[in-house]
Structure formats: structure tokens, C-alpha cells
Amino acid sequence: MMEAPPGKKPKVVYKRKGDNVLELNTSNVKSATKIKLRDSIPSKAKPKNKKDTKSSTQLYLDFGQRNAHTIECKDCGMRYTRGNTTEISLHETYHSTTIFGIEWNHKMTQSVKSLEKIDRLGILRVDPSNASQYVTRKVEEVHALLHSSLDAPSFTESIKNTARTYLAIEDNRIVASAVTTPMSSAYRVDISRMYLEGAQLGDIQFNSISVNKELRENIKVGIHRIFVLPAYRKKGIAMLLLNNIAASEVYGNTLTSDDIAFSQPTSDGARLAYKWSKRLDFLIFDDTT
């Protein structure tokens, strides 16, 4: 049975101050460790005495009603059937992964490159060519979570063979990740056809994004996926991932927003691309073709 790690964790905001100085801001918030899986899983009722054993057996009658005894977890959103041990076990695993992150054993990760360490948070990069079996298996788990969380298609074999996976790890849990591949060209967002709401950088809602395919630009890297677990958002972790991608993708060079494109971002992803690149006409590409 999965249990949440004990104790309260303060909200930690990871951000850069200037070019090279890192600054931490903390404030007390409700931690994700407050979530107790046991609260959402019914336990078997025990009979009051031996004579009542048969009469106390719970029966589930299905008269054709839809989802007669289906439970939807209010925290992770997964639906499972009451009393179905297989589905309950799957829910425990999925719940732990989506709320607390995929487990990560730092003793088994000699084949990864450590990029940055801030307090309890570490940024790592995995290259497929030299990853160990353990790391490769973890990367596959990360990719599966990315596809599921972003409702995105699975990677093609060509992407998987060349993709670098960036991981943000806190307390031996993967709390955020990004996937990149080398790329030669992308398109600018067409501002003239963009519909958005809001006035300030962090408040803008991107409801529709168009590109001008006549304006192809040369780039070096494409970001296929980037995702932060809900409990770890608004701490600057996504920005740290992007900064490390820019600093480490090309040896000896720091890339700029003119070198990096994003794949068909969601509204949240578009806001992140805008915030990081500091321009509305950031670069995007289609990774489904």
C-alpha cells in the first residue's frame, strides 16, 4: 500500500537572480503529502461474528446502470471498480506516480549527466546512447506519463532513438521532465492570427495558435514534451528545465529562444514558451508528421 511521505514540505520556488545567481523563496502551503490514498479506497467490511459471515457478504447488483460501482479518485482522476483488486492496485501505482512522481534511485544513475543542483532539487540529462538498463526503463515510464498527462501520441522509434530526456528530481522522485531532439527548422507563431486574452505575461490565455508556414526558420533543438506534476508547479521548475536545455544541448554554446522550438503546445505550454522566450511569436513545430 502506498503511503505519503510524512511531514509538511514548504513550497520552494526555484528561480534565477540575474544571470548566475540562484534565489530560493519559500512559503508554507499545504503539501501533496497530505493526500492519503487509504481515504479513497474502501476497506473490506468484517463480519460481526461467525454466524453472520454469509449474510454479511457484500453483493453488487448490476441492473444495467452505467458505472454502478465505479470510483473516481478526486486527486489523480483515475476511475477504478470497487472491490476489483487488480484495478485498485493499478490505481495505487498511478496515484503515487501522478501525485508524488516516479521513484528514482540515485545510486543507479551513473549513466546520467548531472546539470544543476538547487537545495533538494536536481536537474539531470539522460542520453539514450549511454543510458543503463535501469535509467532506460525509468525514461520509458517518464515518457508514458508525459503522453498520458498531456494527451499526446507516443513517440515514434526515430524520436525515441535520438531523444534526450531532462529530469527534475526532488527527494528521489521525478517531479518534472522534458524531452528534446535535434531539429533543423520550425515556424514562427503568426501573431496577426493569434487570439489571446489577458494583459500580463503570466495571465495570458492562448486559445488559438497559428503559424505562417512560409516563414520557416533554422533552429537547433525541438522540445517535444515538457511537464511538471501539479503539486510542484509555480516553483520555477519548468524554467529551470528550459534554461538547462539551452545551456547543455550544444557543447560549448548556450542556445537562445531563436534556436529552440516547441511542439504544438497546450495553452499552459504556450504561456511557458512565451514566458521563457519573452516573445509572442515563439517557434513551434509539428511532431505528429
pLDDT bucket at 62, cuts 50 / 70 / 90: very low
Mean pLDDT for all residues in the chain: 77
Report pLDDT for 205: 58
For residue 144, CA distances in Å to 49, 98, 139, 249 come to: 47, 11, 9, 23
Among 100, 116, 146, the domain boundary falls at 100
Spell out the residues 6+ positions from residue 171 whose beta carbon is closer than 8 angstroms to its own: 5, 120
Cell output for 61: 447488483
Q: Check pLDDT > 80 for residue 268.
A: yes
Q: With left for phi above 0 and alpha for psi between -120 and 50, is residue 89 left, alpha or beta?
A: alpha
The verdict on pTM exceeding 0.85 is no
Do 94 and 129 belong together in one domain? no
For 131-160, write each residue's pLDDT tens digit.
999 999 999 999 999 998 898 999 999 999
Residue 173 located in a structural domain: yes
Q: What is the dihedral of CA 27, 21, 237, 37, to 10 degrees?
A: -40
Grid cell locating 174: 521525478
Containing domain of residue 151, as a range? 103-285
Tracing cell 528530481 back to the chain, one arrives at 169
- Counted domains in the chain: 2
Same domain, 189 and 107: yes
pLDDT tens-place string over residues 12-41: 556 554 443 333 333 333 333 332 323 333
Side chain identity, residue 126: V
